[in-house]
Amino acid sequence: MAKILIVDADPYIRELIKMLLTKEGLSILEASDGLSALDFLKSEKVDLIVMDIMMPNMDGWKLCREIRAYYSPTLPILMLTAKGETAQKVVID
């Protein structure tokens, strides 16, 4: 069973995403910020990360860089954000 890590400061957003993904038979882990997500990655193997950009303690951009540098350069990461301007959206290799 695929394991998805949802990282978002808003518990209602996490719950909504969790509800939708568990209906598809996926296993879900939740973190409220980037630091908590990194703690999960120390002990859990995940198949996908769904994260927000704007979070306390460590934003999504820094979290993405940390994951790429120290955990996995190929782990799929899906960023969900309320930012609407194209100039605010950046792809991190």
Q: How many residues does the chain have?
A: 93
Helix (H, G, I), strand (E, B) or coil at 51: strand
Helix (H, G, I), strand (E, B) or coil at 16: helix
As a whole number of angstroms, the distance between CA 73 and CA 49 comes to 13
pTM, rounded to two decimals: 0.85
As a whole number of angstroms, the distance between CA 30 and CA 28 comes to 7
**Which domains does the chain carry?**
3-88 (3.40.50.2300)
Reported as a single tens digit per residue, the pLDDT across 34-82 is 999 999 999 999 999 999 999 999 999 999 999 999 898 999 999 988 7
User: What distance lies between CA 61 and its chain's CA centroid?
Assistant: 10
